[in-house]
Amino acid sequence: MTNFVICPYNRVKKNFPEFAQTMQTLRSDLIAKCEKDWSESFGGPNAVSSQFSKSTIMPQLFDGVAAAYQPFYSWYQWLDTTGHQTLITGANSGNIYEDYKIGIAGIAFLDKAVRISIIKMQISDKKLPSMNIEEILGWNQPALIFEEGFILDESAGFHLYAYVTCLGPQRIKLIGTQMNRIPNKLQGSNTGAALT
């Protein structure tokens, strides 16, 4: 079971101190995994977390439903069919690119109208249970904050599925942190830059 709390996105940090603990645990676990996995290939056995860069989760690592029509430069997507569908996948044929690890603490919907009633995630071969989020349909910019975060390893498969209730725009944001093995490989100022 995936336990989560629903709250307004703009009040996550202010009103939910538990989120700070979830994020701190997620960051610590992510840094420990990076130091363990990347120390042999980058930095030697004395690698420290300062050798890796940290950022928010960058959309360039993902493809969305609008990817066939335009590059997925932002979290904005156009939902052009209803029913069950894939919303977001890893940009590398459904996987996360090498040299990146991602910690997901939640999902935010950055529109007044939420057009999704059920979501579920799959991380590699681990399928998480469906989450019925119908109660957020009347909220303005709601967020789901997980009690425990999820780590997407480099080259791991990632899929966010949803049941779409109506057509139209939907901005979705994965809340969390991202670690980059090669600090200057990530070009945040040029959203169209290739990451491979």
pLDDT tens, position by position, 116-138? 999 999 999 999 999 999 988 87
User: Cα–Cα distance between 188 and 169 in angstroms, integer?
Assistant: 24
pLDDT at 41: 53
pLDDT at 191: 45
Closest CA to 80 of 149, 22, 164: 164
Band of pLDDT at residue 195, cut at 50, 70 and 90: low
97 φ/ψ angles, rounded to the nearest 5 degrees? -60, 155
Percent of the chain with pLDDT over 90: 32
Q: Which residue has the higher pLDDT, 69 or 29?
A: 29
Which whole number is the average pLDDT over 9-24?
79
Question: 120 and 165 in contact (C-beta within 8 Å)?
Answer: no
The reported pTM is 0.83
Between the CA of residue 109 and those of 56, 117, 144, 154, 180, what are the distances in Å? 16, 12, 9, 25, 25
How high does pLDDT run on average in the chain?
81
pLDDT tens, position by position, 142-179? 989 888 899 999 989 999 999 999 999 888 889 999 99
In the numeric block, the tokens 């090498």 are attached to 98
- Does residue 182 have a pLDDT over 70? yes
pLDDT at 189: 46
pLDDT at 165: 94
pLDDT tens, position by position, 55-113? 888 888 888 765 444 444 456 788 889 999 998 999 888 899 999 999 999 999 988 88
